[in-house]
Homo-oligomer: A and B are copies of this chain.
Amino acid sequence: MNAANEMSSSFTAVSENEAFARVAVAAFVLPLNPTMEELTEIKTIVSEAVTNAIIHGYGERRGIIYLHCKIIGDRMELVIEDHGVGIEDVDLVRQPLYTSRPDLERSGMGFTIMESFVDEIEVDSAVNRGTRLRFVKYIRTPQSAARYEV
């Protein structure tokens, strides 16, 4: 696996697909032999970003979520994108505990968790255009195998 291995996926923005997205990305990175902890972190990032696209990005509207994952060596690049309402003030929403939807019992911890589970994060968003999150994470323990079978 010297050349890049790439995977793209797009899917309906419904909550049933949160688990699908987590499992798909986890299965894609499995050949890198991530530890259980790394795998949990990756699934959590995907879950946070996809959930945000569904709840905040599209809300009541139906829409499509775009996911791209690329592996080169021990480096994973992950992009999760929606074409929803977008974010007006990115600095504001990235603050721990900030949520625009306390009525939905959101914890406001999504961005904080995503930031702490990756090596790099980039947020691109434009009002009424949508939001694009780009993550870089290094799978630092190619030796220790976590084996999952689904």
The interface of chain A, by Cβ under 8 A from chain B, is: 1, 3-12, 14, 16-17, 19-20, 22-24, 26-28, 30-31, 62, 148, 150
Contact = CB atoms under 8 A, between A and B. Distances in A.
17 contacts: A5-B12, A5-B14, A5-B17, A6-B12, A7-B10, A8-B9, A9-B10, A9-B24, A11-B28, A17-B28, A20-B27, A20-B30, A22-B150, A24-B27, A24-B28, A148-B150, A150-B150
State how many copies of this chain the complex holds: 2
Chain A interface helix/strand/loop/mixed:
mixed
B150 A27 contact: yes
A3 B148 CA distance: 32
Contacts of A26: 150
Contacts of A6: 11-12
A122 B52 CA distance: 38
Nearest to A1: B16
Nearest to A62: B3
Contact of A19 (B1, B4, B11, B27): B27
A7 B27 contact: no
Contacts of A148: 150
